[in-house]
Structure 1
Amino acid sequence: MQRKHFIKMLISFTVMSRLFYIIKNTRKHQLKTDPITFFIGNWHVSEPNTPIEMSIQIDANRQVFLNKQMMNGHLISVEKDKLIFKDHFGYEIIVTKLSETSLNLFDEADEKNYQLIRETELS
């Protein structure tokens, strides 16, 4: 009788420790997601009163394109809701997540904000 009880306890402990291990590793994996993942894609100005035709593309290699031309500069910060790009003149472009399909882009050189929308939302 005690032997059966001991075996049940051992099996229960093994199952519980395995579940704990799986949950712990799942959380670690979720934390390791690269924050740039959200920003990757094509984005377009969504302001109808703006005469500027502008698109921004960010690729998986962390390269930034303006109207399909690669921009000279580099990413200096990437967070889950914010991305900062410094161009070769030293000006920053700060991109902030507004929603799952829209961004705010602040261009330090022009001192202007632009609303961007993900290309897939334009259709």
Structure 2
Amino acid sequence: MRFFKFQKPQAILNRTIHQYQQKVRTTQASKVATFYAGHWSFNDNQTRKKHTLEITPNLLVQIDHKPLSGQVISLTENELVFLDHYGYQLKITCENQRPVSIYDEAEDMDYLIE
């Protein structure tokens, strides 16, 4: 004979609330990710070169068509922070649901997004 362990109603409610909160957070993150997704460009005034920045809807980052190794460590409506495999941060600032600037910690430089 098998005995089934019944969960307390409070445990079931807590699990349901937690699952709902995770779904809401995932949906909000997907919405915010769309603010950053797209093809952008910026100028490096020191080298006088124009660069491209591509951010996919699932937040993969490419510069000049080369994927950056690393991961997004923070995402808000105002800022996306990408940590590269060397440990440097790339901070992309967003205003009015559009990226407006990039801060490259490795170069200690700010770039305006066009």
TM-score normalised by the chain length of structure 2 = 0.67
Q: Distance in 2 between matches of 1:99 and 1:46?
A: 21
Aligned to 1:42: 39
More helix by share: 1
Give every structure 1 segment of 4 or more consecutive aligned residues whose post-TM-superposition deviation is greater than 4 Å. 46-50, 99-102
Alpha-carbon offset, residue 97 of structure 1 = 1.4
% identical equivalent positions: 25
Q: What CA deviation, in whole Å up to 9, does each residue of 1:89-108 have, x standing for no partner?
A: 00000000144555110000
Q: Unaligned 5+ residue runs, structure 1?
A: 1-27, 118-123
**CA RMSD across the alignment:** 2.4
Q: Distance in 1 between matches of 2:77 and 2:99?
A: 14
The structure with more radius of gyration: 1
SS in 2 for 1:61: coil
Aligned length: 88
Q: Unaligned 5+ residue runs, structure 2?
A: 1-23
Aligned to 1:53: 50
TM-score normalised by the chain length of structure 1 = 0.62
